Amino acid sequence: MAEQSGLIKGLEGVVAAETALCDLDGANGRLAYRGYDIDELARQASYEEVAHLLWRGELPTRAQLDGFCAELTAARPIPDQLLAAFRLLPKKADPMRALQMATAMLGTFDPDATDNSQEANLRKALRLTSQLATAICAHHRIRLGQEPVPPSKDLGHAADFLFMLTGERPSAVNVRAFDAGLILYAEHELNASTFTTRVITSTLSDMHSAVAGGIGAMKGPLHGGAGEAVMLTLKEIGQVENVDAFVEKALAAKRRLMGFGHRVYRGGDPRQVILRDLAEAACRQSGQGMWYEMAVRLHERVNRAKGLIPNVDFYSAPLFYSIGIPVDLFTPVIVAGRMAGWTAHIIEQHQDNRLIRPRGQYTGPGRRLFVPLDRR
């Protein structure tokens, strides 16, 4: 029986699992997936190569990648029953709630749903990663009163997402930016949503159940919901000339500044450096440079006033906005990216499982005698 430790709020700094997936050096602001630096992966790899790396341990050869992409493409279609369910939802339904429902429903159709073997989990990771991308886009178009765009057979994962979202073949610049964004969100060690998926998996529950739980955790504004909040902040500020006054007012009101700060990166989030470059290119290319300029000014003012650094959700906001992602789909897009990491952690947990069950420190009243109802 392990020694019981004292209370550590938010499990800050607690090592809760071993993982071969992600090396996150918070002190030095470095991040690597299975030994490959995030900067190289984001700038040179595709999301498909990164998913292969996370699931199978190695970057694919050209032949392996061709076969892997064919499997991902074949797995994209979602059941008509799920489309029908989307049509029954209120038009204003939160896309993250629709995504949670979709995940649970896809589990009812998946032939491997309750099979936690390595082979079945690898099949489900690939299938669900493709299906959820289709589901996000299908729900979005249905809530707009439009017909879903069927997944293509000739586009890569990132390009097909943009195609299913808009119905138009995306530009190469937008595809590259979006692909890099998905890679930067793909995996991040034991963040709240990934830890959630591991806790659910540790009970020997299944991948669909764990992913549905992860979506619930990702939804929160302290986690994946921050990206949407950053874009709403930029829209609230309106123009770069208003940034200084906004920061002054926000700090005076002790307002939580979304997109800033991180539990682990105290010296800077390496992902935001890459996203800043991508956001600048995408904002300028789409004629929306003001969002980028506003973000840079906000970054500088907040950093100077409070020493806070931007996290991954800061520059991804103007990036996603400038390539046409609706603001309330930012978090579902983060889910689409994080699917590779979540499912890789679920596979890892099943490979070496022990039920995750921490303790609570009791602060309630001491032992006392029961008083029957007629005497209370």
Looking at 87-95, 109-117, 203-211, 258-266, which segment touches ligand SDX (CB under 6 A)? Answer: 258-266
What is the per-residue DSSP string for 86-136? HHHS-TT--HHHHHHHHHHHHHHH-TTTT--SHHHHHHHHHHHHHHHHHHH
The dihedrals phi and psi of 37, each to the nearest 5 degrees, come to: -65, 140
Tokens of 84: 């029908």
| Residues present in the chain in total | 376
Which of 299, 313, 345, 350 is flagged as catalytic?
313
Token pair for 321: 């906005």
Q: How far apart are CA 227 and CA 336, in angstroms?
A: 14
Min separation Cβ 220 and ligand SDX, Å: 8
Q: Are 321 and 231 in contact (CB under 8 A)?
A: yes
Determine whether 262 is an active site residue: yes
Q: Please pick, from the candidates 30, 56, 223, 301, the single residue that binds ligand SDX as defined by CB under 6 A.
A: 223
For 271-297, b/e burial (b = at least 16 CB within 10 A) is bbebbbebbbbbbeebebbebbbbbbb
Q: How far is the CB of 327 from ligand SDX (least distance, A)?
A: 15
Interface size with ligand SDX, residues (CB under 6 A):
18
- Alpha carbon distance 338, 316 (integer Å): 14
The piece of 129-137, 233-241, 261-269, 290-298 that touches ligand SDX (CB under 6 A) is 261-269
Q: How far is the CB of 309 from ligand SDX (least distance, A)?
A: 9
Tell me, yes or no, if 313 is annotated catalytic: yes
Out of 42, 226, 275, 323, point to the residue binding ligand SDX (CB under 6 A): 226
Which range touches ligand SDX (CB under 6 A), out of 119-127, 138-146, 251-259, 277-285? 251-259
Tell me the one-letter amino acid at 278: L
Considering only 40, 222, 241, 300, the residue that binds ligand SDX (CB under 6 A) is 222
Q: Yes or no: say if 122 and 128 are a contact pair by the CB < 8 Å rule.
A: no
Q: How many helices (H) does the chain have, and how many strands (E)? A: 16, 3
Please count the other Cβ atoms lying within 10 Å of the Cβ belonging to residue 32: 18
Per-residue x/- marks for ligand SDX, 1-30, CB under 6 A?
A: ---------x--------------------
- Annotated catalytic residue within 52, 140, 188, 262: 262
Applying CB under 6 A, among 260, 315, 321, 330 the residue interacting with ligand SDX is 260
Q: Token pair for residue 263?
A: 């539990």
| C-beta of 10 vs 360, nearer to ligand SDX | 10
Task: Fill in the per-residue mask, 164 to 203: x = in contact with ligand SDX (CB under 6 A), - = not in contact.
Answer: ------------------------x--x------------
Helices (DSSP H) in 186-288: which residue ranges?
192-202, 207-218, 226-237, 243-252, 270-285
Segment 248-255 long-range contacts (CB within 8 Å, at least 24 positions apart): 251/305, 251/306
Which window, 85-93, 105-113, 220-228, 286-294, contacts ligand SDX (CB under 6 A)? Answer: 220-228
* Residue with Cβ nearer ligand SDX (265 or 292): 265
Among 263, 303, 324, 353, binds ligand SDX (CB under 6 A): 263
- Mapped onto helix, strand or coil, the DSSP state of residue 50 is helix
- Using the minimum distance from each CB to ligand SDX, give the nearer residue, 164 or 237: 237
Per DSSP, the residues of 54-73 read: HHHSSPPPHHHHHHHHHHHH
Q: Is 104 in the site for ligand SDX (CB under 6 A)?
A: no
- By Cβ distance, which residue is nearest to ligand SDX? 261
Here's the x/- map for ligand SDX, 310-339, by CB under 6 A: it reads as: -xxx--------------------------
Max Cα–Cα distance, the chain, nearest Å: 78
As a whole number of Å, the end-to-end CA separation of the chain is 41
Identify the residue among 60, 95, 214, 259 touching ligand SDX (CB under 6 A): 259
Q: What residues make contact with ligand SDX under the rule CB under 6 A?
A: 10, 188, 191, 222-223, 226, 256-263, 308, 311-313
- Catalytic residue positions? 262, 313
